Amino acid sequence: MTIELLTNKKGNKISKYIYGQFSEHLGRGIYEGLYVGEDSKIPNVNGMRTDVVEALKQIHVPVLRWPGGLFADTYHWKDGVGPKEGRKKIVNTNWGDVTEDNSFGTHEYFELLRQLGADSYVAANMGSGTIQEMAEWVEYMTMEGESPMANWRRENGQNDPWKLKFFGIGNESWGGGGNMRPEYYSDLYRQYQAFVPQYNKDEPIVKVACGPNEDDYEWTDKIMSIAGEFLDAISLHYYDLPTNTWGDGNKGDATGFPESQWDSTMVNAKKMDELVTKHSTIMDKYDPDKRVSLFVDEWGMWTNSEPGTNPGFLYQQNTIRDAMVAAITLNIFHKHSDRVRMANIAQTVNVLQAMILTDGEKMIKTPTYYVFDMYQKHMDADLVEGFGEEIENVSYTASIKNGELTVSIVNYDKDKSQDIEFDLDNKYSDIVYSKVVTADKIDSHNTFDNPDVVTEQDFDGAELSNNKVSVKMAPKSVVTITLK
């Protein structure tokens, strides 16, 4: 199969924020995952565990969404600032009914961002909070001059304001965030956003409205028609369930699953293209200039929790199947980069389709982590269009940055290898980067006893000759090559 890449035709910029992360106060995602506290025996800097931070720095996390998720709409930010011994303890009613001691709050979040070199994406409490509470939080975070909240921030040890880049107003307001109708949410959003203070006029806060759940196209239409002029972005949530069963049903196991669930998972992953296409079409009706961004700020695999763990903690293993889903989905986001300008995989550590799993002092990187690592060269690169016959069970993407062409290909056929040829309309002299993630079994995964079962390896199956690149793809593999 031959694909022609139009390297001389400049495409849309692939926003680095497509590679964003999401970490909620859920299970062991923040506590034990990202944050262990200053007194922990686990090596840390200001409470942030060093091994996890260093691993995330390697994939250059561009933005981290926090504190939720459903947790955001029960979170009252004032409980999480000030001396830790005086912070209010609450019950996390959304995730396991465990006690939350609020030792990770606003200051800790921005310290984590500092260590990661990432931008902020804060989700405001619209569900159980007030407009005043929201406005005071923004004041606390961003006010440079004299004010009650800015002075309180200084008393708590932070003299300079932080940069609040993205601000979500409402999370899943159609469900756990308030069971609202789109008309009601739209009016409420208009009201809330009017009281988001903009203290830094040179860098205005990007205001994000709660968008639809999966294929709720009416929600998108109502939000855009009623509140479109007051928002900068609208969110979309979609999870890949192997069995398409929510509630108390069997979502499918992360490991030991039948071959049929490999196939259903790939079908569900590809559905992201349909969802983004149709929601974008609705947005085009009200916003033909594409001023408003589509943020897919929750996406990824959702399977049954691992046996023996708290089901409210959403801890699941991560296999080569997850790597396929990650690559397919990122390729789709690239394709729609004219509208999709952020995405946040759920979630960063120990929850759902995580980059990293921890167990006490131990840490492992997942197959999904290695896909994010291989795809880094696409961040803020220009999309390259490709033409040719569609190849069954193959997805690809290409981009150019700093004169280098990067091509990423996924062969998600669980049994068959693929020979693919890319015909280039420009001259490249050398393959300067060539990596692969692959595995023998459909549920191959890393464990704390065997952490390197699925890793990123050097790839020798690509050959450049006469402006053509030939790639021999093993089954269940993700490949990235860069040409110069």
pLDDT in tens, 194-251: 999 999 989 999 999 999 999 999 999 999 999 999 999 999 999 999 998 887 789 9
How many other C-beta atoms can be found within 10 angstroms of the C-beta atom of residue 291? 12
Residue 2 maps to a domain = no
DSSP, residue by residue, 65-85: EES-SGGGGG--GGGGSS-GG
CATH number of the domain where residue 445 is located: 2.60.40.1180
| Active-site hit among 298, 361, 385, 421 | 298
Decide: helix, strand or coil at residue 254: coil
pLDDT at 246: 84
pLDDT at 292: 98
298 a catalytic residue: yes
CATH number of the domain where residue 354 is located: 3.20.20.80
Please identify, among 354, 379, 404, the residue that sits at the C-terminal boundary of a domain.
Answer: 379
Please identify, among 379, 404, 423, the residue that sits at the C-terminal boundary of a domain.
Answer: 379
Residue 156 exposed, middle or buried by CB count within 10 Å (0-12, 13-18, 19+): middle
Token pair, residue 448, equals 């704390």
Same domain assignment for residues 391 and 374: no
Q: What is the DSSP letter of 59?
A: T
Residue-wise burial string across 460-480, b where 16 or more C-beta atoms lie within 10 A, e elsewhere:
ebbebeeeebebbbbbbbbbb
pLDDT at 249: 81
Q: What is the DSSP letter of 367?
A: H
Among 390, 394, 278, which residue's Cα sits nearest to residue 327? 394
Same domain assignment for residues 329 and 463: no
Non-local CB neighbours of 462 within 8 Å, separated by 6+ positions: 431, 434, 469, 470, 471, 472, 479, 481
What pLDDT tens digit does each residue of the chain (484 aa) get? Answer: 799 999 998 899 999 999 999 999 999 999 999 999 999 999 999 999 999 999 999 999 999 999 999 999 999 999 999 999 999 999 999 999 999 999 999 999 999 999 999 999 999 999 999 999 999 999 999 999 999 999 999 999 999 999 999 999 999 999 999 999 999 999 999 999 999 999 998 999 999 999 999 999 999 999 999 999 999 999 999 999 999 888 778 999 999 999 999 999 999 999 999 999 999 999 999 999 999 999 999 999 999 999 999 999 999 999 999 999 999 999 999 999 999 999 999 999 999 999 999 999 999 999 999 999 999 999 999 999 999 988 999 999 999 999 999 999 999 999 999 999 999 988 899 999 999 999 999 999 999 999 999 999 999 999 999 999 999 999 999 999 999 9
Query: Can you give the residue range of the structural domain that contains 451?
Result: 386-483
Same domain assignment for residues 353 and 457: no
Residue type, 233: A
Measure the CA dihedral 51/53/54/58, to 10°.
140
Distance, in Å, from the CA atom of 453 to the CA atom of 74, rounded to the nearest integer, reads 39
pLDDT at 257: 97
Same domain assignment for residues 200 and 142: yes
| Structural element, H or E, at residue 2 | strand 2-5
Residue 9 maps to a domain = no
Distance, in Å, from the CA atom of 107 to the CA atom of 246, rounded to the nearest integer, reads 35
How far does CA 253 lie from the centroid of its chain? 22
Q: What is the DSSP letter of 144?
A: -
Residue 113 maps to a domain = yes
pLDDT at 35: 98
172 a catalytic residue: yes
Residue 467 maps to a domain = yes
Same domain assignment for residues 457 and 333: no
The region that residue 191 occupies, defined by phi over 0 for left and psi between -120 and 50 for alpha, beta otherwise, is alpha
Same domain assignment for residues 139 and 40: yes
| Whether this model's pTM surpasses 0.95 | yes
DSSP lists the bridge partners of residue 342 as 295
Same domain assignment for residues 369 and 403: no
Same domain assignment for residues 308 and 366: yes
How many other C-beta atoms can be found within 10 angstroms of the C-beta atom of residue 246? 10
Same domain assignment for residues 137 and 172: yes
| Active-site hit among 172, 390, 404, 456 | 172
Token pair, residue 458, equals 């050097």
